[in-house]
Structure 1
């Protein structure tokens, strides 16, 4: 499958900007996950990374339509590929910012929270862990990621066991995201790029940033590290 048109990469100053393209839901199929991982791997030399998306969705989670077309034993391809993507982001030698330009549900929500900080669109979109409504169990590293990145136990309960949909205002109030940006998609991306540019301007040693990140979230890193870098690359599906 051709992944070239699934996301774009551009440099804005010192910021490496990855954008999931198109007006769809940006469902995380093995092909899209591979495309994002390739885009993340193309970031050397940048001072910070921002991930954004076109349209009304940041990402609506795993591609369940794809899963229905393949044998059950291939379903782990999606989850394990995403585990590798989380590992890539945690090991990346630069600060990372998610520009949540629209709805971020299930694995899409986890993708946003796998970044160091998050800027969310104030006027549209929500964070939503849909698994309890969909009747789908969460995998171990999802649980650990939410445990580490959502600071309040009641908020984690509301997200995971009640399936609450959280607006930007509520997410900022509860400490799940860092900022809500007014305006459209371009405004949210601009706010995230500005935040990332400010971090890049600090001139930190990228390898130190990566090692501190792993130390800050050791339980998450412990569950994904074997799927990062060369080991994960070797395990990626051939599409």
Structure 2
């Protein structure tokens, strides 16, 4: 299944695989965010349980928000981009199945936050880094990014190095510091295969997906509180005028 020309959705065993397509740096502008949210919604609407993996083609997992686009549009549209990503994080936290990020290349700023929004992450060992670039770019960090890092990066010194020093973290260091779960040798497909295998193992546990989602929200309450009003779940619950 294709979602526009920006990402695809396929099924591998019990695992739903969303792949951001193309060889670019996968900037999270409105078109890609819309495509990803549509893909996650399609996975949610599919029958049966399972697990989700999000991966990307090429050198980048995601290089963050589309700042070049943001500089050309009014402030309200810049805000809408951040709100759409806030909604994507909410969609992932509310998804009734385990989630694994296949960090196939560089993951910077919002791209790094996207990887951390999953339950687990597998990172490419030979190429790519996690990089919170805001301090280098002179951009303030948004509140839900800060909460995501606070709750998903266990060590205070690691959070400091990522956010206040802008350190670029390799897979080996990210595993050592407990930021990602595993590093996979080889190319993009090897990382995807490792992430799918990890997701398949979680899917095989046969958990109740709605229970998984509620536990996830309870585990990361400060993040959920900051994103819950922007997700598909909240939109579906609003009365139609």
CA RMSD of aligned residues (A): 1.6
Matches within 5 A, 1:119-134: 119-134=122-137
Q: TM-score, normalised by structure 1?
A: 0.95
**What's the counterpart of residue 41 of structure 2?**
41
Deviations 1:72-121 (A, max 9, x none): 22100110000000000000000000000000000000000000000000
Deviations 1:24-58 (A, max 9, x none): 00000011101000000111334000000000000
- The counterpart of 2:118, out of the listed 87, 99, 115, is 115
Query: Does the alignment pair 1:13 with 2:13?
Result: yes
In structure 1, stretches of 5+ residues that fail to align are: none
- The counterpart of 2:86, out of the listed 79, 83, 87, is 83
- Structure 1 residues 75 and 232, CA, compared in 2 at 3 Å: closer, same or farther? farther
Query: Does the alignment pair 1:59 with 2:35?
Result: no
Contact between 2:94 and 2:233, CA under 8 Å: does it hold in 1? no
In structure 2, stretches of 5+ residues that fail to align are: none
Give the Cα separation in 2 of the matches to 1:87 and 1:108. Answer: 15
Number of aligned pairs? Answer: 234
Query: Does the alignment pair 1:157 with 2:160?
Result: yes
Contact between 2:125 and 2:172, CA under 8 Å: does it hold in 1? yes
Task: Specify the SS of the correspondent of 1:75.
Answer: helix
Q: TM-score, normalised by structure 2?
A: 0.94
